[in-house]
Amino acid sequence: MTTPDIAMKKSRVPADLIEIGAMFGLLVATVSFFTVMAPGFFSPGIFTSMAYQLPELGILTLAMLLPILSGGLNLAVTFTANVAGLVAAWILVQVTGDASAGIIIVAILAALATGALIGAAIGALVAYTGAHPILVSLGFMILLRGAGEWFTRGGDISGMPEFFRFVGHGTLLYVPVPLIIFIAAVALWVLVLHYTRLGFSIYMIGSNAKAALYSGIDVARVQITLYALSGLMSAVAGIVMLSRFNSVRIGHGESYLLIMILACFLAGANPFGGFGRVLPVALGLVSLQVISSGLNLMGVSQHFATATWGIFLILVMVIRAPFQQR
């Protein structure tokens, strides 16, 4: 990337608006399509159902987004989430007798710390060994999976206190709690990526790590921080899943991994890093959920629904191609 920073910054603003507008248009298109095709789609029931389903995949995708923006990848997100969930579950199960709000807060903090720690370890390895993030995070993915299977003996930890279910199944002013958590997570990511020095550094490292280093960015520190944040967000997803499923097992949500990566690319994140915004990703995720719920409502085979996600992702990339000559 030889263009000076200032020029890039200027040209990015309208591109952003086009991107968000396009993703919003796509969302409107999918919603309209199913409103016509699937009788009963445009109903409170369906939107409530989507509001409960979207956050798990959504929060995990946000965890994946930061490494992708930096030109890396974090394949360990689902297992980080479940290991963090295991930690929280383990603490909660110890005190099933009287689960006070205090214990729940301790469990949540411990889970977040676990996630951040795992992320920081991945980041440190990426930063100091220079190994490709795919290799490092793949190693961690296998490590966490094995450790989790061993710890739980392939089974699950279940039977969370009644109050804890609120996180995954409750509502606050008629809005499902998981959705509120997801919106807060999106807001946090917008803040970090677009309004802090860290966010700017992440984009710069993604564009050209060497140039970023020579321009005085502490690349190692930024990488450790961004993977720690990715781990932290995975832990949030782990907590939501723990509550939604009333149990944690190391394999929960395993099937989401590839979908998460694709959802990032769907919204214009560049596989080689440096480009991509949070809001298009969030809108893209809502579109994917609309497709999945809409097809379910039409009673279409789940395998076909998965294929449709694939078609959708390919279609978006084909349409995008002419505009991506940056």
Partner 1 sequence: MSRFSKMAASLLAATSALAAPALAQDELTIGVVVKIGGIPWFNAMEQGIVSRADELGVNAFMVGPTSDDPALQVRAVEDLIARNVDVIGIVPNDAWVLEPVLERAREAGIVVISHEADNLVNRDVNFELVSSTDLGNAHANLFAEATGCEGSYAVFVGGLTVPAHNAWADAAVDHLRELCPNMRQAADRFGVAESVDDSRNTTLDLLRAHDDLAGIIAFGSQGPIGAARAVEERGVAGEVAVVGLFSAGQGQALVHRGSITGGYVWSPIEAGEAFVTLGAMLANGESLTDGAEIDGLGTVSYNDGLLFANMPLELSVDTVDGLAELGL
Binding site residues, partner 1, CB under 8 A? 16, 20, 24, 27, 31, 39-40, 42-53, 56, 153-156, 158-159, 165, 168-169, 174-176, 179, 183, 186, 190, 241, 244-247, 249, 251-256, 279, 282-283, 286, 292-293, 296-297, 299, 301-303, 305-306
What is the nearest approach in angstroms of partner 1 to the Cβ of residue 184?
12
What is the nearest approach in angstroms of partner 1 to the Cβ of residue 191?
11
What is the nearest approach in angstroms of partner 1 to the Cβ of residue 44?
4
102: exposed, middle or buried (Cβ count in 10 Å: 0-12, 13-18, 19+): exposed
Query: Which residue number, 145 or 249, has a Cβ lying nearer to partner 1?
Result: 249
Query: Which residue number, 210 or 303, has a Cβ lying nearer to partner 1?
Result: 303
What is the nearest approach in angstroms of partner 1 to the Cβ of residue 211?
28
Nearest to 154 by CA among 251, 254, 255, 245: 251
Which helix (H) or strand (E) segment holds residue 157: the answer is: strand 157-158
Query: Which residue number, 90 or 213, has a Cβ lying nearer to partner 1?
Result: 90
What is the nearest approach in angstroms of partner 1 to the Cβ of residue 69?
17
Scanning the chain, the segments in alpha helix (DSSP H) are 5-37, 44-69, 77-94, 101-129, 133-152, 166-169, 177-195, 197-207, 209-214, 219-245, 257-266, 278-297, 302-320
282, 26 contact by CB (below 8 A): no
Query: Which residue number, 5 or 16, has a Cβ lying nearer to partner 1?
Result: 16
Query: Which residue number, 24 or 151, has a Cβ lying nearer to partner 1?
Result: 24
In the 8-state DSSP scheme, what is residue 324? G
34, 294 contact by CB (below 8 A): yes
Query: Which residue number, 125 or 181, has a Cβ lying nearer to partner 1?
Result: 181
Give me the half-sphere count of Cα atoms (radius 13 Å) on the Cβ side of residue 169.
Answer: 11
Query: Which residue number, 246 or 270, has a Cβ lying nearer to partner 1?
Result: 246
What is the rounded CA–CA span in Å between residue 206 and residue 68?
8
Residue with tokens 């029931």: 45
What is the nearest approach in angstroms of partner 1 to the Cβ of residue 180?
10
Nearest to 158 by CA among 100, 88, 97: 88
What is the nearest approach in angstroms of partner 1 to the Cβ of residue 239?
14
